[in-house]
C-alpha cells in the first residue's frame, strides 16, 4: 500500500474508487461510503487527507506526507495544481519586514508554525508548537483542546487521561482528529516525542505537504463517470453539486432523472465570468447579458453580449475602445475556447476577434467559470497573432503535460481553421 488516505466531501465516492485502485488504503470512511463499497469502516490513522476546499468546493486540498503528488497529477490531468513551497505546520522565522521568501507573514511573529499556506500570497502563523499527525504540544496555560471532529465525550475523556499530566507541567495539548484511531500506547509515545522535540527545538523536519487543486470541468465529468459505475449519477453531478446539493441528491433518486432543469436554473439574464489563472487565483471579468442559450442532456451553449466601457485599446487587437463598443461571445460546454467578436458601437462593424483558450466552461449560479490556459489568438486586420505562448510554458509548473499539450493542440486547430476560413 502507498499510504492511508482519508477522503471527505462531494468527490468522496469517485475518489475512493480511484485511489483504492491506485493501491492506497482508504481509512475513516463515512458509513455511507463504506456501504457503497461493501466494506467495513477502516478505523486507522490517516497519512493523507483529501477534502473539499472550505472556501470553494470547486477546489480540493490534499494534506499530509506520502508519495501522492504524481498520482494527483495523473488523476486530475486537466486541472491546475498548486503545491505549497512551505509545509503546513512547519516552523519559520519572519524577517524584519514581516515576510518569508516572497510572502507576507501574519501575524508578524519572530517565529511560528504555518497554519495557513500562502495560496493567496499570505502565510498565517501561530505560536511555535511541536506537531505530529495525532497532536500538537507547546508551552502555555496547561490546557487540553480537541479537534472539532473529536466530539464524543467518552473519546475526549480517554485522550484527557493522557494529556492531563502534561497540562499540570504547563504544556498545552491539542488533539488532532487522527488521535481517535490510535491506541493509548501509540498516543503516549507520541506525546513523549513531541515534548522532547519542543524542548530541544527539533522542528527541522516538521510539517505536511499541502496541495490546492482547482478542478476543471473535464476532470469533474471524469469523476461523474467513475461515480456512475458505483451509484446512480447524472451528467454534471459534481458541477451541479456546487450550486444545488440537495436537488442533485433528489434528482438521482430517479434513475431516469435529467440535469436539464438544474442546468437551465443556473443561467440568469446576466452572467458573471470567473477567469481562473494557473496559480488558482480568480479574475472576475465584465459579465454580460444572455442573448441566446441552448441546454440539453448533452450540454449547454450560452451567448453573451458584453458592453465594453472605458478608454484604452482592445487586448491583442490593438484598436481603441469607443463608447458603445460591445463583445459577442459564446460559451460552449464542448469547446476548449471562446471566440470574442468585438464590434463598434457606432456602426456595428467588426473591430477584431480574440480567442481565449481555456478548459470548457462550467456553470455556477449566475456565473460562468473556466480555467485559463494562457495562450490566446487574436485576429487583427486578417493577421493571426498568437499571444502568451511563453506564458503557457512558464505556467506549465501548475499543469500536467496533458493539459499543456491540449492547449497547444487547440491553438494549432484554431489557426488551421482561421487559415481555411472555417472559423465558426
CB 88 within 8 A of CB 115: yes
Respond yes or no on whether the N-terminal peptide bond of residue 302 is cis (omega within 30° of 0).
Answer: no
416 membership: H or E segment, kind and range: helix 401-419
* 153-157, long-range: CB < 8 A, 24+ apart: 155/180
- Residue 102: partners with Cβ closer than 8 Å, 6 or more residues away: none
- Residue 253 has phi, psi (to 5 degrees) of -70, -20
Provide the 10 A C-beta neighbour count for residue 404.
18
Strand order of the β-sheet with 135-139 is: 130-131, 135-139, 171-175, 144-146
| pLDDT tens-digit map of 318-333 | 899 998 999 999 999 9
State mean pLDDT over 170-186: 97
pLDDT over 80 (residue 424): no
What mean pLDDT do residues 215-235 have? 97
**pLDDT confidence bin for 256, thresholds 50/70/90:** confident
DSSP 141-192: S--EEE-TT---HHHHHHHHHHHHHHHHTTEEEEE-GGGGGS-HHHHHHHHH
Report residue 240 as a C-alpha cell: 451541479
Residue with cell 465558426: 424
For the chain, the domains span 1-83+208-225, 232-266, 271-419
Burial of 95 (0-12, 13-18, 19+ CB in 10 A): exposed
The model's pLDDT over 109-144, given as tens digits with 9 standing for 90+, comes to 989 999 999 999 999 999 999 999 999 999 999 999
Chain-wide mean pLDDT for the chain?
A: 95
329 CB-contact burial (10 Å; exposed 0-12 / middle 13-18 / buried 19+): buried
Question: What pLDDT shows up at residue 62?
Answer: 98
Structure confidence at residue 66 as a pLDDT band (50, 70, 90): confident
| Cβ atoms within 10 Å of 160's Cβ, excluding its own | 14
Q: For 186-212, how does the pLDDT look when each residue is reduced to its tens digit (9 = 90+)? A: 999 999 999 999 999 999 999 999 999
Within 10 angstroms of residue 421's Cβ, the number of other Cβ atoms is 6
- What would the CATH number be for the domain defined by 271-419? 2.40.380.10
Q: Give the Cα separation of 300 and 330 in Å (integer).
A: 10
Identify whether the C-beta of residue 328 lies closer than 8 Å to the C-beta of residue 303.
Answer: yes
| Count of residues in the chain | 424
Amino acid at each position: 500500500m502507498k499510504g492511508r488516505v482519508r477522503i471527505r466531501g462531494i468527490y468522496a465516492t469517485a475518489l475512493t474508487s480511484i485511489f483504492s485502485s491506485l493501491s492506497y488504503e482508504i481509512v475513516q470512511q463515512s458509513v455511507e461510503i463504506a456501504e457503497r463499497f461493501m466494506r467495513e469502516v477502516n478505523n486507522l490513522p490517516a497519512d493523507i487527507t483529501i477534502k473539499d476546499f472550505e472556501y470553494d468546493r470547486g477546489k480540493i486540498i490534499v494534506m499530509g506526507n506520502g508519495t501522492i503528488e504524481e498520482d494527483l497529477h495523473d488523476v486530475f490531468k486537466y486541472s491546475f495544481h498548486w503545491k505549497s513551497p512551505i509545509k503546513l505546520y512547519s516552523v519559520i522565522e519572519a524577517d524584519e519586514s514581516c515576510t518569508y521568501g516572497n510572502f507576507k507573514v501574519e501575524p508578524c511573529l519572530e517565529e511560528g508554525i504555518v497554519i495557513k499556506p500562502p495560496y493567496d500570497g499570505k502565510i498565517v502563523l501561530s505560536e511555535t508548537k511541536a506537531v505530529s499527525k495525532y497532536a500538537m504540544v507547546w508551552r502555555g496555560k496547561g490546557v487540553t483542546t480537541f479537534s472539532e471532529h473529536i466530539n464524543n465525550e467518552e473519546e475526549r475523556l480517554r485522550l484527557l487521561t493522557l494529556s492531563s499530566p502534561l497540562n499540570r507541567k504547563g504544556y498545552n495539548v491539542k488533539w488532532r482528529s487522527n488521535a481517535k484511531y490510535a491506541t493509548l500506547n501509540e498516543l503516549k509515545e507520541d506525546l513523549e516525542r513531541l515534548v522532547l522535540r519542543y524542548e530541544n527545538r527539533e522542528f527541522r523536519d516538521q510539517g505536511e505537504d499541502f496541495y490546492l487543486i482547482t478542478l476543471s470541468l473535464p476532470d469533474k465529468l471524469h469523476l461523474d463517470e467513475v461515480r456512475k459505475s458505483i451509484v446512480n449519477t447524472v451528467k454534471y453531478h459534481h458541477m451541479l453539486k456546487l450550486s444545488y446539493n440537495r436537488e442533485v441528491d433528489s434528482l438521482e433518486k430517479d434513475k431516469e432523472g435529467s440535469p436539464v432543469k438544474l442546468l437551465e436554473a443556473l443561467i440568469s439574464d446576466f452572467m458573471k465570468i470567473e477567469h481562473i489563472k494557473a496559480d488558482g487565483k480568480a479574475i472576475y471579468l465584465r459579465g454580460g447579458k444572455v442573448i441566446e442559450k441552448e441546454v440539453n442532456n448533452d450540454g449547454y451553449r450560452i451567448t453573451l453580449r458584453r458592453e465594453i466601457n472605458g478608454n484604452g485599446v482592445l487586448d491583442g487587437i490593438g484598436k481603441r475602445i469607443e463608447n458603445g463598443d460591445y463583445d459577442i461571445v459564446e460559451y460552449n460546454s464542448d469547446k476548449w475556447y471562446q471566440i470574442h467578436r468585438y464590434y463598434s458601437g457606432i456602426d456595428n462593424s467588426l473591430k477584431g476577434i480574440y480567442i481565449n483558450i481555456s478548459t470548457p466552461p462550467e456553470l455556477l449560479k449566475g456565473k460562468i467559470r473556466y480555467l485559463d490556459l494562457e495562450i490566446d489568438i487574436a485576429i487583427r486586420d486578417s493577421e493571426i497573432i498568437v499571444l502568451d505562448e511563453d506564458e503557457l510554458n512558464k505556467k506549465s509548473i501548475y499543469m500536467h503535460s496533458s493539459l499543456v499539450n491540449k492547449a497547444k493542440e487547440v491553438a494549432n486547430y484554431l489557426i488551421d481553421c482561421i487559415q481555411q476560413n472555417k472559423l465558426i
